Amino acid sequence: MNSFSIFVIPFCAGVLALLVFSVWKYWRWIRSFDRLQRATIRRNIWSWRFLPAIWEAFREGLLHWRITKKNILLGYMHRSLAFGWFLLIVVGAVQAVLAYPHGHPFWMAIFYNYFEPECNPVDFPHAVFFANLMDALLIYVLSGLFLAMFKKVWSRPLGMKRTTRHTLMDRVAKMALWCIFPLRLLSEASTSAIYGNGGFMTRGLGRVIDAIGIADPAFEYTCWLLYSIALGTFFCLMPFSRYMHIFTEVFLIYFRQLGVHDSNRKTGYTMFELSACSRCGICIDGCPMNRELGIVNMQGVYMLQSVRNLELQRNAESIAENCLMCDRCVADCPVNIDLSVIRRQVRIKNKAPFDNKGGYTYLRNVQPFNSIGRVAYFGGCMSHLTPGITSSMETIFNAVGQKYWFMDKEETICCGRPLLQQGFENQAADLRRKNTEMIQGSKATMLITSCPICYQSFRKEYNLSIPVMHHTEYIDMLIREGHLKVRHDNLKVTYHDPCELGRGCGIYDEPRNVLRAVTTLLRTDNEREKSLCCGFNLGNPTLDLEQQTKIRDAARDNLMAPHPDIIATACPMCKKAFLRAEDIPVKDIAEIVAANIS
Amino acid sequence: MKSISIIGAGPAGIEAAAILAAHGMSVSIFEKSESPLSNITDKAFLFPNFADANDLAHKLAEKLKSPSITQHLSTEIVSLSRNGKGWTLKDNKGQSYSSDLLLLATGYTPFDAHRKEELGYDIYKGVVTSLDMERMIRDKAILNSIGEKPRRVVFLQCVGSRDEKSGNHYCSKLCCVTAVKQAIELKKQLPDTEAYIFYMDLRMWGQHFEELYRESQQDYGVRFVRGRISEASGTFDGRVQIKAEDTLMGLPLKMTTDLLVLMVGMEASVGTRCLAKEAGICGEYGFAQSIDPHMDDNLSAQEGLFLCGTCKRPMTIADTIADARSAATTILSLA
């Protein structure tokens, strides 16, 4: 049995390089996990969580289920390349094991047809079956490759209006990848032209080569050499290109299932997230900055790229700043990378001067009160500019006999989230400390807030010992439990999902339940995870009013399309955004409910 | 002689109609409200000479009685189109009207104070607009939210004007002097009530405006604070608490008042917006655009379509009437 030829060297060198660089990188990254992340891994490493991790890795890494849900063709393209290639390798390995029961070098599985051109039915009875199966799999992969090439020319049918602008390294690696499968077909066909082996497709192409008259061992050797070089090149480039995501995603899924989260500093886990991005560009289409303003250099994929590539680091900050933080890309990302957290890591400005010598002396001292059944109500800064919301909440509290403490009715401080979003960590922490002191000091049993920004802050950034509710959740609870009797009026409304409440905290159903109880709720084209940002989010300090207005108008048009009587929202910020446009009736859910108490 | 359609029976439309009719033109005037001059009849007195607004309305209404003027009240023109050399108008009931020439006098609408929700209009009972105040002055019934004589009234300038957040960068031009006029009226009716005016800067540009400003301080004790009010909130006794910054003192301040009067600015009316758009003569902020502010201020880019009054920009009544006369002269010279 002949089992070696010079042409396998590029392939073997590629595999070796891939192994060495991957292990080196992964080892370095795992070592730079922070203490909390390490502790989480240590605590959960022996749990059963690896089972869902395996399932998710299979579903997302090979089947690309989330992408398929976005667009069937796009999913097919990714799946045929990933799962198809995976099956080619696995079936090839099985074929080699069955054909050589006494062991073989690992490259034999890849170059099987070259080394085993004469299928001897005595030695290996399943040879024909495997040859045909491998051909079928190769067709599967090639169909995906064809789609990928088609997407390069016209991406619309695959559900993508815009695709990613790749770096040079990524483009070279892609070329290598694209060469692999046609070259494999050509190599096998060139062997088949001489020996008549192979499955239905290679034999057919072999006959064509034979007919042209180029079937000779030199041509065959050249083909196999090129195939090996393509493989070797791709493997060498893999650790330095976007194709690193193939393995990294599996690790990321595993760590995530173990319970590891990104922290507010760049860690090894962040590096895994950076590399798990396949740069598919799905984050670009949904981004309001692209949709309404045509800005296409700051979406998730480019932000990660700027953080990853050290030479582009100077761009990282301006890219990170120019974002509404509406989380649309987080909802769209098929790898579930926490893009907003990474963006915030870049935004950190701890060198900014911080002076709070005066303290918060203007705040009144909180007197603990009889806390039985008493809730604290935090309107939020923005609700102060929309007093319709706070006064409606007071009406509702009074209607159900709820004892409450309106903690920011007079003097008030911010929840801290707007500062945190801009990277002023210390300043935000100081505000959180003071608010926590006041809330705990009041001995209130629950905290209700009208502002989704504050709500996300209290829920995720504070460590309060009492439950936190947004007023839509609270009103929904009151109606459900029969404390608040409302009447249904004939108003037709559309609901605007605030980014911070919907994508930020997953509150989609409660506001809708409340609206259905008092009005007729109409559907719009972009709802829930796909809802459009109002443009006046506090996330982006660089947009001017005109740009914000454009983004707002797109959201408005979407909401006005079903011809509602009013637009309902649950965020003072969004309400202000829509109020600024002329002639749009907009109301907060609390206001609609307060007007319909029976 | 040619026929002309005038859209809008305010001071601009009526003044132009009267002149054109006197020169033998057949004039049709369209008004979407039931009666003409609704933006004057809700006023009490006019600056700077405290003339009775009703008198002026009367005088203008008299001019409509010419036999060459056909009035179409309660008729909202919703579209206009070219018809050969002339124009065809359509109202909301589907009726069409034709004429050789067209004069747009669709005017303004007061800024909707609901859009500045932080100021609490329609949420706190003590918050009113300058139009509400004018009505209270006219009816001699300046009362706070619980029906008592107010101890303090605060006027806030530039609500919906010179305000990026409400999308209007322009100055509405007449709120400064209106607030001064209203504060004097207030002091005339209720000498014991304190009057404050919060302003960014006072634009006393017209004849006798500056004198009025001085008078208000010397003779009536109206107090002026430079600074905008950032937010208002209700108090338990139906009054309004305001937060502002006195930018001359450089200090934040809080004040409780019985009435907060929002001096609302002028915006293009719905009619102006729609028809200017339809005719393709849209200018900034939804107003109609004239060809040139100096020489051809009554001409539009469309031949045979003329403009006058506050459909172009904020104007006082005196400016509006003068502009209507200028429009009439322009039309007569071309027709």
CA distance A269 to A260: 8
Closest CA–CA distance from residue B106 to any residue of chain A (Å): 18
Helix A8-31 to helix A217-237 angle, to the nearest 10 degrees?
10
Output the pLDDT for position A358.
65
Helix segments in A154-199, DSSP class H:
168-195
Distances (CA, A) of A177 to A113, A280, B326: 20, 15, 76
Output the pLDDT for position B306.
96
Nearest to B92 by CA among B271, B277, B306: B271
CA distance A339 to A322: 13
Are B118 and A387 a contacting pair at CB < 8 A? yes
Cis peptide bond N-terminal to A498, omega within 30: no
CA distance B32 to A36: 70
Closest CA–CA distance from residue A317 to any residue of chain B (Å): 28
CA distance A492 to A522: 7
Residue A132 DSSP one-character state: H
Burial class for B311, CB neighbours closer than 10 Å (0-12, 13-18, 19+): buried
Of B117, B124, B231, which is closest to A579 when you measure between CB atoms? B117
Q: Minimal Cα distance from A544: which residue of B?
A: B164
Amino acid present at B297: D
For residues B4 and B13, the answer to whether their CB atoms sit within 8 Å is: no
Tokens (6 digits) for B210: 């500056």
Helix segments in B263-334, DSSP class H:
270-279, 317-334
Expressed as residue numbers, the domain containing B28 is 3-107+269-334
Q: Give the confidence band of A372 by pLDDT, cuts at 50, 70, 90.
A: low
Closest CA–CA distance from residue A289 to any residue of chain B (Å): 21
A260-285 pLDDT tens trace: 888 888 888 999 999 999 888 899 99
Q: Minimal Cα distance from B230: which residue of A?
A: A385
Q: Are residues B98 and B130 in the same domain?
A: no
Q: Are residues B101 and B196 in the same domain?
A: no
Burial A64-88 (b: 16+ CB within 10 A, else e): bebbbebeeebbbbbbbbbbbbbbb
Closest CA–CA distance from residue B308 to any residue of chain A (Å): 24
Are B232 and A549 a contacting pair at CB < 8 A? no
Q: Are residues B165 and B261 in the same domain?
A: yes
A512-567 pLDDT tens trace: 999 999 999 999 999 898 999 999 888 888 888 888 989 999 999 999 999 999 99
Block means of pLDDT (10 residues each) for chain B, length 335 residues?
Answer: 92 96 94 92 89 93 92 93 91 92 95 91 93 94 91 95 89 95 95 96 92 96 94 88 92 93 95 93 94 93 94 95 96 88
Residue the block writes with tokens 């609270």 = A474
Q: Are residues B75 and B176 in the same domain?
A: no
Closest CA–CA distance from residue B173 to any residue of chain A (Å): 21
Averaged over A419-445, what is the pLDDT? 88
Output the pLDDT for position B91.
92
Q: Give the confidence band of A312 by pLDDT, cuts at 50, 70, 90.
A: low
* Radius of gyration in angstroms for the set of CA atoms belonging to chain B, rounded to a whole number: 21
Residue the block writes with tokens 């900034």 = B284
Amino acid present at A81: L
CA distance B141 to B52: 17
Output the pLDDT for position A1.
57
Portion of chain A with pLDDT greater than 70, in percent: 96
Mean pLDDT of chain A: 88
- pLDDT surpasses 90 at A157: no
Q: Does A364 contact chain B (CB < 8 Å)?
A: no
For residues A535 and A573, the answer to whether their CB atoms sit within 8 Å is: no
Measured CA angle at B269 (ends B266, B274), to 5 deg: 145
Measured CA angle at A54 (ends A51, A55), to 5 deg: 90
A484-519 pLDDT tens trace: 999 998 889 999 999 999 999 999 999 999 999 999
- DSSP of A230-268, one letter per residue? HHHHHHHHGGGSGGGHHHHHHHHHHHHHHT----SS--H
Q: Is pLDDT larger for residue A46 or for residue A582?
A: A46
Q: Give the confidence band of A310 by pLDDT, cuts at 50, 70, 90.
A: low
Q: Does A80 contact chain B (CB < 8 Å)?
A: no
Q: Are residues B170 and B249 in the same domain?
A: yes
For residues A178 and A243, the answer to whether their CB atoms sit within 8 Å is: no
Q: Are residues B204 and B278 in the same domain?
A: no
B230-289 pLDDT tens trace: 889 888 888 999 999 999 998 889 999 999 999 999 999 999 999 999 999 999 999 999
Q: Taking CB atoms and an 8 Å cutoff, what residues of chain A touch B256?
A: none
Residue A216 DSSP one-character state: S
Q: Are residues B56 and B86 in the same domain?
A: yes
Are B267 and A387 a contacting pair at CB < 8 A? no
Q: What is the CATH number of the domain that holds B245?
A: 3.50.50.60
A185-215 pLDDT tens trace: 999 899 888 888 888 888 889 889 888 888 8
Q: Are residues B233 and B129 in the same domain?
A: yes
Would you kindly state where each structural domain of chain A is located, as residue ranges?
A: 8-245, 248-347, 374-476, 487-594
Helices (H) and strands (E) in chain B, counts: 8, 20
Closest CA–CA distance from residue B4 to any residue of chain A (Å): 32
Averaged over A363-375, what is the pLDDT? 66
Output the pLDDT for position A350.
78
Beginning with the edge strand found earlier in the chain, give each strand of the sheet holding B251-257 in spatial order: B229-234, B240-246, B251-257
- pLDDT surpasses 80 at A363: no
CA distance A271 to A238: 16
Complex ipTM over 0.85: no
Q: Are residues B138 and B230 in the same domain?
A: yes
Output the pLDDT for position B199.
96
Output the pLDDT for position A360.
76
Nearest to A169 by CA among A238, A250, A258, A260: A238
Q: What is the pairing mode between strands A374-378 and A446-449?
A: parallel
- pLDDT surpasses 80 at A227: yes
What CATH number belongs to A248-347?
1.10.1060
Tokens (6 digits) for A350: 């701890």
Are A580 and B231 a contacting pair at CB < 8 A? no
Are B117 and A388 a contacting pair at CB < 8 A? yes
Of B112, B124, B231, which is closest to A385 when you measure between CB atoms? B231
Domain-terminating residue out of B219, B237, B266: B266
SS3 A552: helix
Closest CA–CA distance from residue B124 to any residue of chain A (Å): 9
Residue A484 DSSP one-character state: S
Output the pLDDT for position A543.
87
Are B234 and A387 a contacting pair at CB < 8 A? yes
Burial class for B237, CB neighbours closer than 10 Å (0-12, 13-18, 19+): exposed
Q: Does A386 contact chain B (CB < 8 Å)?
A: yes
Residue the block writes with tokens 């009726």 = B95
Q: Are residues B278 and B258 in the same domain?
A: no
Of B124, B165, B233, which is closest to A580 when you measure between CB atoms? B165
Averaged over A14-42, what is the pLDDT? 92
Q: Minimal Cα distance from B168: which residue of A?
A: A580
Residue the block writes with tokens 């307060």 = A594
Q: Are residues B185 and B50 in the same domain?
A: no
Q: Minimal Cα distance from B166: which residue of A?
A: A580
CA distance B65 to A301: 72
Name the architecture of domain A374-476: 3-Layer(aba) Sandwich (3.40)
Residue B34 DSSP one-character state: S
Predicted model pTM: 0.84
Lowest mean pLDDT among A1-15, A281-295, B244-258: A1-15
Task: List all residues 6 or more positions away from B277 whose beta carbon is below 8 Å from its beta carbon.
Answer: none
Q: Are residues B59 and B167 in the same domain?
A: no
B interface with A, Cβ–Cβ below 8 Å: 112, 114-115, 117-118, 120, 123-124, 164-167, 231-234, 267, 286
Output the pLDDT for position A558.
92
Could you give the number of structural domains in chain B? 2
